[in-house]
Amino acid sequence: MVYPFGRFFLGNFVRMYTRKIEGHENIPRDRPFIAVANHSSYLDDLAIPYLITRFAKKKFHIFVNSRYYSNVFFKLFLDHFGCIKVDVSKDVKDAEKRNKTNEKAIEDAVRFLARGDIFGIFPEGGRNNGTLREGKTGVATVALKSKVPVLPIAIIGSHNVFPKGAKFPRFRRFDISIGKPMTFEKYYGSKDYNTLRKITDEIMGKISFLIAK
């Protein structure tokens, strides 16, 4: 989302609920990367694109649940901002269709990174209830295929602002803590599930550390 209007709109809204941002100097300015964050609030979907485009000023793409594409206006918005459609098992029961959609999503993420854009992902696969869940290995797959750094981001307290199931945000504030980029050169080219699981757990462990810090 390079888009000055989008940054302006998102910025005013996100800043109203953000208390502090630590580690923004860790955001790479000169190369593509994967922004990886925990997910416990609707606000996270706005905070991460705003944060990354504010400091990196590059196009930003993120996985979005395919159910949001059923609304024509949402679809136009998501397509305009370069979002990437993914299927989740609770919404799409057809495993073959789900796998086909998600394989294309991985390919699209790698393609965007190859041209210098930024890709964002919430590895938990959905919003949690304030407690970090195990990450899915898609993040590791993209990291090894694209050969770019992973930037761990902890969003702290956003579930108190706009939790899962809420219709409106509460007037509270959350914090963001950004770690140093992580690289996994020695695993490039690997498709082994145990390797993907190890990398994913390492990334989620770093986010957990940033939350508790």
Q: At what angle do helices 138-146 and 95-114 cross, to 10 degrees?
A: 40
The full set of domains in the chain, from first to last, is 4-212 (3.40.1130.10)
Give the sheet arrangement for strand 118-121, strand by strand.
18-22, 174-178, 150-156, 34-37, 118-121, 60-65, 84-86
Asked if 10 and 49 touch (Cβ cutoff 8 Å), the reply is yes
Distance CA 44, CA 38 (A): 8
Average pLDDT over residues 187-203: 96
The answer, yes or no, to whether residue 194 has pLDDT greater than 50, is: yes
Look at the block and give the residue holding tokens 């997910």.
39
Distance CA 201, CA 183 (A): 14
The answer, yes or no, to whether residue 58 has pLDDT greater than 80, is: yes
Share of the chain above pLDDT 70, in %: 95
Distance CA 146, CA 157 (A): 31
What lies within 8 Å, CB to CB, of 104 at 6+ separation is none
Tell me the Cα Rg of the chain: 16
The answer, yes or no, to whether residue 4 has pLDDT greater than 80, is: no
Distance of CA 3 to the CA centre of its chain: 18
Q: Which secondary-structure segment (H or E) carries 96?
A: helix 95-114
pLDDT in tens, 69-102: 888 888 888 887 789 999 887 777 878 888 899 9
* 146, amino acid identity: S
Distance CA 25, CA 176 (A): 13
Average pLDDT over residues 149-176: 86
